[in-house]
Structure 1
Amino acid sequence: MKKILLITFCICTASYMQAQKQLDLEECRQLALENNKSLKIAEENVRAAQSLSKAAFAQFLPDISAYGSYRYNQKNISLLGEDIHLPIGVLDPSGNFGPGIGPSSRPTPNADGTFTFDDSAINNKFIIVDGKPVPLDAQGNPFDPGKNPENLQWKNHALLPKDAMEFDMHNIFVGGISFAQPIFMGGKIVQLNKIAKSNQAIAEVRVQEKAEELLVNVDEAYWRVVSLESKVQLAKEYRNLVSELDKNMQALQEEGLATKADALKIKVKLNEADVSLTKAENGLNLSRMALNQLCGLPLEEQIELKDANLKESLDLQPAISIEQAWANRPEIKMLTQAGNIAEANSKVMASRFMPTVALTGGYITTNPSAFNGVEKKFNGMFTVGVTAVVPLFHFGEKAHTLNAARTQAVIAKLELEEAKEKIELQIHQNSYRITESLKKQEMTRKNVENAKENLSYAQEGFDAGVITSTDLLMAQTAWLSAESEYLDATVDVKLNNLYLRKSTGNLH
């Protein structure tokens, strides 16, 4: 039974050790870059900007569309309100309408206001009124042919029935294909393409910016965990020292060489050490969770950092010129592209004063069609043309928008210059901080050496009975404080070097 339990314990321990990952700083960085959601969003924005850039380039190409429509009409269309009789004849050499094949005639006006008719051409009957012939209409009523020529009944005429001029317009079908090719747009399309390219460049720089922010967060979380692991170990050592002193004081109290007050004082310090250890362990667990979240790992997963024993190794940032730092910083890259966008936008506003020319054309078909009479079938034709639009006057609206765009271009240049000044100041500040942190690290190292030596002498003196427990506690506390300050100073050196790398755009 004992063998079975021992084997089970060994298997569980081995699986736990295998499950616990060992990661260094570069591996944590790589995991964060692969799993961070904000970085993935920035990369998707790059793809969207690339698509928009391609869409802007498509403005140079013709726009081809197909269209179609159907309409139902309640009524038909008729060109005549009633049947019409048209006389048949030809023009004589003098230009008068006279009898031809199937002769007909018009009434000829006389000087006295009467008309002379060719009786062989008309079919009206006449009566004599005041000694003059007056024609009768179909109802036998006299009329004036000068005022009512439609009442003349011609012997030779053509009948245009109303039904023959009525068209079936109940169902109308229209379809076709059209295209429009820009020829000259005042440079607007060129500038819009430049804006799209600049937006794509900004999206790509934002990926760099997000990556740098992520790496800074990962490095800060990584060194925080390393520092807390060291402080937890330090708290355990301090607790062991106080616990050993507590045992010695209890022995001395039992022998009557120490008072109860001395023993209780050590108990208080031991309780304080336990509380400090608990706080350090809780802080370490939370810091590990924060690092796991940045790396895309489960929050409760235990990882072992290869730099758990904090060392003074430091890869100092190599000196680079301010101009090179400006070229590396994503903020400068974005502001430069923003300036390009502002310049291009001012040119777009200026293009609104220029004419636009486009080539248009296509093919259109209808049913009914009217190309060969009105036919109930599809028939169509090709069209081609050139369209030009010349702006004339818009009450200053275009001039004001152009001035606003030029002002935005000036603002973009000023923002770029201001950002360069701030970055230069930031680089100098971080350089001074590294120098300061290195000096602090050297000082705290010496303090640790002195505190260790003081603790050793205090321990020997206490064992020899020449110093009190209070002096030994003070030596232990001083050692703990010196060690903790040295850990903080070492981490500050690494972080200040990180911040200098970021300020020079050399973080990767």
Structure 2
Amino acid sequence: MTRLLLSLMLCAVWLPQVQAQGLSLDSCRALALRNNKQLNVARLKQDVARYNRKVMRTKYLPKVDAVGGYEYFSKEISLLNSNQKTAFGSLGTTATGAVGGNITQMITGLVQQGVITPELAQQLGGVLNKLTPQLAEAGNKLGQAVNDAFRTDTKNIWSGAVMVRQPIFMGGAIVAANKMADIGEKMAASDLELRRQTTLYDIDQAYWLVVSLRQKEQLAQSYRDLVKKLSEDVKKMIREGVATKADGLKVDVKVNEADMQLTQVEDGLSLAKMMLCQLCGLPMDLEITLADENVQTLAPVITETYEAADTTYAARPEIQMLENAIELSRQSTRLIRAAALPHVALTGGYMVSNPNVFNGFERKFAGVWNVGVLVQVPVWNWFESSYKIRAAKTATSIAVMELSDVREKVNLQVAQSQFKLKESLKRFHMANENMKSAEENLRCANLGFKEGVMEVTDVMAAQTAWQMAQSQKIDAEVGVKLSQVNVKKALGILN
């Protein structure tokens, strides 16, 4: 909040200074470069490209992930089936029944053989009957203990793992992706430079348009004053009977035309200043004054030689972007080819679970380390990769042809801008000569009119010729400035 208030205070102090002191071409450029929204967007895109490049650098490094979770199951894992559980549960009963029957048969056989007496057999049978329930109960408990030992208790499972993946060979995909990120950053920088030069070009066009319209406004005012002065002179001559009313009406028509021209120029000047303010990031209703709008003569100062050189292509951001697009397409081909090559990665990690399976389904957390190598080899994809590679190579060929076409157009643009600069210089010198002739013609017409040897129409024609010559002189002066801007932009040296 404090920073916002400070900014508003600075703007409140600075804007009246802009209005009072006026704006030079350099200050307009500086304002546009600082406040232009498209330039700010391009700067943000450059930041995005730089961050993407940093993202691609991380592809060389190992990745570490940690996962954890909880699962509830309606049934638990069972290592024994139902029959086995029943058999272990009645292990004592089953065992004592089978053993008891065998002992009874054995005692009966011993009695029949006369080895033991019936009384002794009866006593042994009584002892056996007493021990059988106890043995059966002990056996059943032992079987149930076996059932409990095989229980997994896996309805509630807690698990976690830390995994590490280190790419070893990805078919060149990581290298290609990093090069593509580098190219993307270069393209973002070229786009920023392109927008910067475009902004400067637009500012120069708007600035000199305002200067031109301002001087044409002054010219329209001067022309209107001339025809008004002529109108007053003619009215005096009409009163004295030297001129006719027809002459007065002709001059009045010229006065009305001069007023209309002045109104049109004033409206155009207001719109041009609004456009310049918008490009500079200033309020469009701000009253600004340009440093060159009241200069009498915009003499062209050309001390540089604008010749095409081998560095022209390197200086043009459009050429740089197309060259980057070609390299980007080539790296894209390598990236597609990498998908058809084997991929090798080193894996490792540590896993924990509860219950764990490392000590019988123990109900506590326990873990295990693991290290491995993962190899992925594409076997068959119906020539999909081959088609993709051919398509990418064709796209590269298209980009190369577009670059060649743009280079030819750049050469043509440079030649055209150089011809226009020479033509504008020639037109400037011719306009100066025409201006001198028009001023002399107007002087002679005014003098002849005062002496009575020239008609009103001759004076009006001389005034119209003077206005046209002055207008052409302004157009020629501004044309030289704009031609210089066009040459610099064509050569990529607009700074």
TM range (shorter): 0.7 to 0.9
Question: What does residue 303 of structure 1 align with?
Answer: 288
Runs of 5+ unmatched residues, structure 1: 1-14, 89-104, 106-118, 129-152
- Partner residue, 1:83: 86
Higher share of residues assigned helix: 2
1:280 paired to 2:280: no
Q: Which residue of 1 aligns with 2:203?
A: 218
Whether the 8 Å contact between 1:317 and 1:501 is mirrored in structure 2 is no
* Maintained 8 Å contact 2:298/2:478: no
> What is aligned with 1:201?
186
CA 122–156 in structure 1, closer or farther in 2 if over 3 Å, else same: farther
Change (3 A) 1:379 1:16: closer
- Stretches of structure 2 that go unaligned for 5 or more consecutive residues are 1-14, 106-135
User: Given residue 242 of structure 2, which amino acid in structure 1 is its aligned partner?
Assistant: L
Superimposed CA distance per residue, residues 230-276 of structure 1 (whole angstroms, 9 cap, x where no aligned partner): 10000010000011111111111111211111111111111111111
After superposition, the C-alpha distances for 1:76-102 in whole angstroms (9 at most, x for unaligned) are 3333312334999xxxxxxxxxxxxxx
* Corresponding residue to 1:493 among 477, 480, 493: 480
Contact 1:73/1:170, CA 8 A, preserved across alignment: yes
- 8 Å CA contact retained: 2:88, 2:147: no
**Deviation of 1:122 (Å):** 4.0
Alpha carbons 1:20, 1:302 under 8 Å: kept: no
What's the counterpart of residue 133 of structure 1?
none
Task: Give the whole-Å Cα distance in 2 for the aligned partners of 1:307 and 1:327.
Answer: 33
CA RMSD of the aligned region, Å? 2.5
1:363 aligns with 2:326: no
1:23 aligns to what?
23
User: Structure 1 residues 121, 34: CA separation in 2 closer, same or farther (over 3 Å shift)?
Assistant: same
* Aligned residue number for residue 278 of structure 2: 293
Going from structure 1 to structure 2, the CA distance change for 1:76 and 1:247 (only over 3 Å counts) comes to same
Question: Map of 1:51-62 to 2, 5 A cutoff?
Answer: 51-62=51-62
Equivalence for 2:465: 478
**Which deviates further from its counterpart, 46-55 or 440-449?**
440-449
Deviation of residue 329 (structure 1)? 0.3
- Report how far residue 321 of structure 1 moved: 4.0
Q: Does 2:449 correspond to 1:465?
A: no
Structure 2 equivalent of residue 266 of structure 1 = 251
CA distance in 1, matches of 2:36, 2:44: 13
Structure 1 counterpart SS, 2:310: helix
Give matches, 1:112-123, under 5 Å: 122-123=99-100
Residue identity in the other structure for 1:344: Q
Task: Identify the structure with bigger relative contact order (alpha carbons < 8 Å, sequence gap 6+).
Answer: 2
SS in 2 for 1:300: coil
CA distance in structure 2 between the aligned counterparts of 1:375 and 1:34, rounded to whole angstroms: 68
> Using a 3 Å threshold, how does the CA distance of structure 1 residues 304 and 85 change in structure 2: closer, same or farther?
closer
* Greater share of strand: 1
Deviations along 1:156-200, one digit per CA (max 9) or x if unpaired, are 996255444333223211111101100011111001100010011
1: CA distance, partners of 2:398 / 2:329: 9
Return the letter of the residue paired with 2:347. Answer: T
Deviation at 1:18, TM superposition (A): 7.8
Distance 2:462 2:435 in 1: 11
Equivalent pairs, count = 440
Match of 2:399 among 412, 424, 429: 412
Alpha-carbon shift at residue 306 of structure 1 (Å): 1.3
Q: Higher mean Cα deviation, 304-313 or 47-56?
A: 304-313
Take 2:479 and 2:35, find their aligned partners in 1: how far apart are those partners? Answer: 27
For 1:16 and 1:163, how far apart are their aligned partners in 2?
Answer: 92
